[in-house]
Amino acid sequence: MYTITVTPRFGDSDGLRHINNIVLAEWFELARNEIYRLFTPDLDLSYEKWKLIMVKTDFEFLGQMYYRDDVEIKTSIIRIGNSSYTTYHEAWQSGHLKAKGTAVLVNYDFIQQKSRPIPDDIRKKLEEHLDDYSGK
């Protein structure tokens, strides 16, 4: 499992004084950076080097989050396919689960415009963070 702590910015809050729902997509993406490094260690976004494309993401909001307290984002891998993998994210604030979601990413060759199998060495590293999704 990967864990990061996010300090909400003032601009992350909205007129209702809670964290705006669009911010969660950014925080969950930030939490995936270490997984991205498995595929592209220097995070170079050039077509020649970048190897991932997102095909699905979803979020479920379980409670409101607020500006003044840090948010802990926990990320694990819940499925590894031939060319894709699924991440599971949780956002915790003040000891309470506030949101959860998943993202499906594909190992992708942007020059050839097609998916590629996940290399064995990367698959092994993903497996180190494989978690049982049941009951979450």
Count of domains observed in the chain? 1
In a domain, 135, yes or no: no
Write down the pLDDT at residue 17.
84
Q: Can you give the residue range of the structural domain that contains 119?
A: 2-127
- Beta strands 52-61 and 96-109 are antiparallel
Distance CA 31, CA 34 (A): 7
Name the strand (E) or helix (H) holding 27.
helix 23-31
* The CA-based dihedral angle spanning residues 20, 71, 74, 21, taken in that order and rounded to the nearest 10 degrees: 0
In a domain, 63, yes or no: yes
In a domain, 104, yes or no: yes
The CATH number covering residue 123 comes to 3.10.129.10
In a domain, 98, yes or no: yes
* The CA-based dihedral angle spanning residues 39, 51, 89, 19, taken in that order and rounded to the nearest 10 degrees: 120
Name the strand (E) or helix (H) holding 89.
strand 84-93
In a domain, 132, yes or no: no
In a domain, 88, yes or no: yes
Which residues are 91's β-sheet partners?
Answer: 73, 99
Write down the pLDDT at residue 133.
57
In a domain, 53, yes or no: yes
pLDDT per residue as tens digits for the range 64-113 = 999 889 999 999 999 999 999 999 999 999 999 999 999 999 999 999 99
In a domain, 8, yes or no: yes
The structure tokens 């060319």 sit at 83
Q: Which residues contact 39 (CB under 8 A, 6 or more apart)?
A: 51, 52, 107, 122
What is the chain's alpha carbon radius of gyration, rounded to the nearest angstrom? 16
Q: If you average pLDDT over every residue of the chain, what do you get?
A: 93
